[in-house]
Amino acid sequence: MSNRTSSTRCALGLVTATAATLGLVAAAAPATAASDDGLEDILVVGKTLGFRHSHIDETTHALVDLGAEHGFDVDVWDPPNSSGGWWGPGSPGQPDLTMDTTPFTSADDLAQYDSIVFVSPVDNTNNLNPAQPRLLDDAELAALQGYVHDGGGVVGIHAATDTMHTSGWFTQLIGGGARFANHPQQQTATMRVENSAHPSMEGVPLAWERWDEWYNYTLNPRGAVHVLQTLDESTYQGGTMGDDHPIAWCQNFEGGRSWHQGAGHVEESWADPVFLTSVLRGIQWTAGTVSGGGDCVTWNEVDALVEELPQDTARDKVAVRQLETRLGQAQAAADAGDQAGAVRILRPTAKLAAALVRDDDAGQVLADKVDDLIEWQQGVAEAGH
């Protein structure tokens, strides 16, 4: 990992990363010249202890090819194993690509990766039996937690919500608390972009009709995550989440960043340049090398910053009350579909945060996050929501 990438990670919890143009990483290809766009290494995790999705191989090779094109490295962890079940014998893995041993040895070891991409690594823990072996054991999970807390990026593809069911922390990291519940048969449905300003949604059709396997989730993660795309249940059969069915989202999480795309089951996705570019930019965003569109801010995230402000003096208390009131009004406007009204309330709120908060650093962090809220609401308005 370059020093530039490392320093970007350290700043993720405080400031918005500087936008840059980038690409992906490659591993199986010969060494290439260093890229000028920030990414150097990613890790692709395709290991399965349960049902194995056929797209895992296609996804891995697509990412490796993108890496070869853009001058990055891709490591792959997808070892063969004998974990058979109702789905058949154990996983064949990708023996020609996989690392020999687990890369989840420590946070320091994982720090070489700009992002870790979990590609449908189903582990058969959806029975919630704590004795069922997980994709990551306790030591491996601790390494991932340390990596995220140090500013690491994580991407979840398709069935990344159908693994580690017995780890509440992993479920929050990937899905904001949402886990895979079930899915109807594969069919055509319409995905709708909610925030067109986020880098991963640039160039994505606002109403995108696609054939895929559409997941229902155990809960709606909105609020915990920043929704990027929803699924229009009126365009297909078998949806169970109603009028608000998030399918792609992102979040700032415990010092790191995560981005999730629930589509991608069908192999054709991984030959679609629009889909690939969106995933690529999601990876880039988690690495902190592109930014924009509000950088996956949420109302909850900003509310938490206000709650942490000091209230030792009367001035402090007034500042907090004013900020809470304005943020509440802005969120109410946004929830009602009045993005322009939300922006009108938020603009002076950012200035108030910088002026009223006694701690200059905390005030600037909060002001920056309110600016992110403004960018987000503008992106929602541009998408027609």
| pLDDT range class, residue 358, cuts 50, 70, 90 | confident
Mean pLDDT of the 30-58 span: 80
pLDDT of residue 359: 76
How many angstroms separate the CA atoms of 381 and 78, rounded?
Answer: 41
Stronger pLDDT, 56 or 309, i.e. the higher one: 56
Task: Choose between 360 and 214: higher pLDDT.
Answer: 214
> How many Cβ atoms are within 10 Å of 345's Cβ, its own excluded?
22
Task: Sheet with 246-253: list strands edge to edge.
Answer: 73-77, 41-45, 115-119, 153-157, 256-261, 246-253, 226-232, 187-193, 207-212
Residue 261 identity: Q
Do the Cβ atoms of 367 and 305 come closer than 8 Å?
no
For residue 19, is pLDDT > 90?
no
Average pLDDT over the chain, rounded to an integer = 90
Find the Cα–Cα–Cα–Cα dihedral 203, 209, 213, 218, rounded to 10°.
80
Q: What is the pTM of this model?
A: 0.90
Q: Where are the alpha helices (DSSP H) in the chain?
A: 3-11, 55-70, 107-110, 138-149, 168-175, 273-287, 299-307, 314-335, 339-356, 360-382
For residues 88 and 48, the answer to whether their CB atoms sit within 8 Å is: no
Q: Which residue has the tokens 């370059």?
A: 2
- Are 111 and 148 in contact by the 8 Å Cβ rule? The answer is no
Asked whether residue 12 carries a pLDDT value surpassing 80, the answer given is no
Q: State whether residue 200 is helix, strand or coil.
A: helix
3-state SS class at 72:
coil
Nearest Cα residue to 109 out of 63, 41, 52: 41
Cα 280 to Cα 26: distance, rounded to the nearest angstrom:
12
- Summarize pLDDT for 326-356 with one digit per residue, the tens: 999 999 999 999 999 999 999 999 988 888 7
User: Which conformational region is residue 192 in: left (phi greater than 0), alpha (psi within -120 to 50 degrees), or beta?
Assistant: beta
Distance CA 213, CA 332 (A): 34
Does residue 134 carry a pLDDT above 70?
yes
Pick the closest to residue 41 from 78, 76, 75 (CA basis): 75
Q: Is-contact 352 364, C-beta < 8 A?
A: no
Q: Angle 34-257-11 (CA atoms, 0-180°, nearest 5)?
A: 70
The owner of tokens 């993108």 is 66
